[in-house]
């Protein structure tokens, strides 16, 4: 892990392109918190970015979009337990203190464990409350004080624009299901992002079973993209259909686009005006049976067409210096017209046979937004697969 957090004014570390395994949108939930006086711990795992409401006051103090405990007047420090929505290997975390400037938690540490069972989330309104004796008895069974440290006791930075993101890389390549966030001794944190890659047990999945290999829960991750304006390509592989246009990937039109848009009448394609792309490492090598491209909520700003390619590469985890060459990509779905606010399924009869693949690339023409992208297939082994 890094010795000191990086300022948000620097380039975000590589792991922020990975999936947030703790987000409430993928099933993350809070099991326990020592105190929720000013603001409840459930805010930590909200998918949306934190906001500030000038002058808004609750019965317990200033309204804050995060988790904030009362000033510690007893022995110890505050902490909470979060069950990840997707169990996996953690690559790094972001302890986001946005808008907590004088009232931020000055120090933190993070522990993690792989537990054999799931637990129920807390219920009811928690603001203004502290953990009860019954709550402590329940959480003692988890023995969380003995969990692995993925971030040791470390100083945090206040929630100003240039310092709110406290990034820490994790080097432990173990599967985890639960997180314990410790703050010392009290204070507030806006969001906790736990970036990583799901680690499903593929030995329990039959080769006859149809699985979405381009899914957070399957272990799929975004490995690259041309650009983004609103949303991130990793949103495309989230569970369920998108809730809004922000819960997708959108590229704004370039100011250099043609003055008059023209179409090649013999092909039904637009005259060249650019394209955008994103690539994904699938959760497992597979043989594709169906492709899904969903433009839900994108009504006047959907792409004109899209293309899907696949490839099988030796190293399934692509680094910056190890990307598929042009000759390795094979066209799975040729350029195909899209519709606005529409869920399109293309079955195997309309797809090219590209054999076993480990990665896919979605290209959209010329710009616009896509909300979800699915690759349905059956797991397959290959001579190159390391699974």
The answer to whether residue 114 is domain-embedded is: yes
- Alpha carbon distance 151, 109 (integer Å): 5
Q: Give the residue carrying structure tokens 């169990």.
A: 87
Q: Is the peptide bond before 62 cis (omega within 30 degrees of 0)?
A: no
Contact 286, 375 (CB under 8 A): yes
Cβ-based neighbour number of residue 73 at 10 Å: 7
Q: Give the residue carrying structure tokens 């023409």.
A: 365
pLDDT (0 to 100) of residue 385 = 45
Same-domain pairing of 191 and 244: no
- Alpha carbon distance 364, 375 (integer Å): 16
**The tokens of 14 are what?**
């590589």
pLDDT (0 to 100) of residue 259 = 77
| Domain of residue 119, residue span | 14-198
pLDDT along the chain (387 residues), means of 10: 42 94 97 98 97 95 97 96 98 98 97 96 94 96 98 98 97 96 98 97 94 97 95 96 95 84 73 86 96 98 96 62 70 96 97 96 96 97 56
Q: What is the DSSP string of 131-172?
A: --HHHHHHHHTTTGGGSEEEEEEEE---SSTTT-EEEEE---
Report the domain count for the chain: 2
Picking from 181, 198, 215, the residue at the C-terminal end of a domain is 198
Same-domain pairing of 219 and 366: yes
The answer to whether residue 3 is domain-embedded is: no
The answer to whether residue 2 is domain-embedded is: no
Same-domain pairing of 207 and 170: no
Same-domain pairing of 246 and 189: no
Same-domain pairing of 220 and 189: no
- Alpha carbon distance 46, 196 (integer Å): 17
Same-domain pairing of 256 and 314: yes
**The tokens of 30 are what?**
């809070």
The answer to whether residue 242 is domain-embedded is: yes
- Alpha carbon distance 176, 82 (integer Å): 11
Same-domain pairing of 153 and 233: no
Contact 40, 64 (CB under 8 A): no
Per-residue model confidence as pLDDT tens digits over 50-90 = 999 999 999 999 999 999 999 999 999 999 999 999 999 99
pTM: 0.90
- Write out the H or E segment, with its range, that includes residue 363: strand 357-365
Burial (CB count <10 Å: 0-12, 13-18, 19+), residue 48? middle
Picking from 146, 178, 198, the residue at the C-terminal end of a domain is 198
Same-domain pairing of 90 and 206: no
pLDDT (0 to 100) of residue 383 = 60
Which of 16, 20, 22, 36 lies closest to 178 in space, CA to CA?
Answer: 22
Burial (CB count <10 Å: 0-12, 13-18, 19+), residue 292? middle
DSSP 8-class letter at 255 = T
Where helices occur in 241-373 by DSSP H, the ranges are none
Same-domain pairing of 63 and 34: yes
pLDDT (0 to 100) of residue 3 = 35
pLDDT (0 to 100) of residue 254 = 83
Same-domain pairing of 247 and 183: no
Picking from 155, 182, 198, the residue at the C-terminal end of a domain is 198
- Alpha carbon distance 12, 240 (integer Å): 27
The answer to whether residue 5 is domain-embedded is: no
| Dihedral class, residue 68 (left if φ above 0, else alpha if ψ from -120 to 50, else beta) | beta
CATH number of the domain at 159, please: 2.60.120.260
Same-domain pairing of 272 and 332: yes
Q: What is the DSSP string of 339-361?
A: -TT-EEEEEGGGS----SEEEEE
The answer to whether residue 387 is domain-embedded is: no
The answer to whether residue 41 is domain-embedded is: yes
Contact 223, 26 (CB under 8 A): no
Which of 44, 48, 50, 6 lies closest to 22 in space, CA to CA?
Answer: 44
**The tokens of 386 are what?**
């390391």
Same-domain pairing of 190 and 260: no
- Alpha carbon distance 84, 21 (integer Å): 6
pLDDT (0 to 100) of residue 9 = 44
Cα–Cα distances in Å, from 78 out to 32, 182, 292? 11, 6, 45
The answer to whether residue 104 is domain-embedded is: yes
Residue 262 neighbours by CB under 8 Å, 6+ apart: 270, 271
Contact 362, 306 (CB under 8 A): yes
């Amino acid at each position: 892990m890094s010795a000191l957090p990086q300022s948000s004014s620097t380039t975000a570390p590589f792991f922020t392109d990975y999936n947030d395994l703790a987000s409430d949108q993928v099933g993350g939930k809070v099991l326990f918190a020592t105190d929720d006086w000013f603001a409840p711990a459930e805010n930590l795992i909200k998918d949306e970015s934190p906001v500030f409401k000038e002058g808004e006051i609750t019965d317990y103090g200033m309204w804050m979009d995060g988790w904030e405990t009362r000033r510690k007047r007893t022995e110890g420090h505050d902490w909470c337990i979060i069950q990840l929505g997707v169990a996996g290997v953690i690559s790094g975390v972001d302890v986001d203190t946005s808008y907590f400037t004088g009232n931020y938690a000055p120090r933190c540490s993070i522990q993690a464990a792989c537990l054999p069972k799931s637990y129920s989330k807390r219920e009811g309104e928690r603001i203004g409350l502290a953990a009860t004796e019954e709550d402590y008895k329940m959480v003692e069974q988890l023995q969380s004080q003995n969990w692995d440290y993925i971030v040791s006791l470390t100083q945090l930075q206040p929630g100003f624009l240039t310092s709110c993101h406290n990034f820490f890389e994790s080097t432990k390549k173990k599967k985890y299901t639960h997180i314990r966030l410790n703050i010392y001794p009290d204070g507030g944190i806006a969001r906790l992002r736990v970036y990583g890659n799901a680690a499903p047990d593929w030995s329990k999945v039959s080769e006859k079973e149809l699985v979405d290999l381009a899914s957070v829960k399957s272990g799929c991750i975004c490995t690259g993209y041309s650009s983004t304006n609103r949303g991130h390509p990793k949103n495309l592989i989230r569970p369920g259909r998108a809730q809004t246009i922000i819960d997708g990937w959108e590229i704004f039109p370039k100011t250099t686009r043609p003055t008059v848009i023209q179409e090649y009448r013999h092909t039904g394609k637009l005259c060249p005006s650019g394209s955008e792309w994103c690539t994904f490492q699938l959760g497992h090598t597979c043989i594709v049976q169906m492709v899904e491209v969903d433009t839900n909520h994108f009504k006047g700003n959907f792409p004109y067409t899209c293309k899907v390619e696949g490839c099988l590469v030796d190293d399934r985890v692509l680094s910056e210096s190890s990307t598929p060459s042009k000759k390795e990509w094979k066209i799975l779905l040729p350029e195909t017209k899209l519709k606005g606010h529409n869920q399109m399924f293309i079955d195997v009869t309309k797809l090219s046979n590209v054999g076993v693949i480990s990665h896919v690339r979605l290209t959209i023409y010329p710009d616009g937004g896509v909300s979800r992208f699915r690759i349905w297939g059956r797991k397959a082994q290959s001579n190159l697969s390391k699974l």
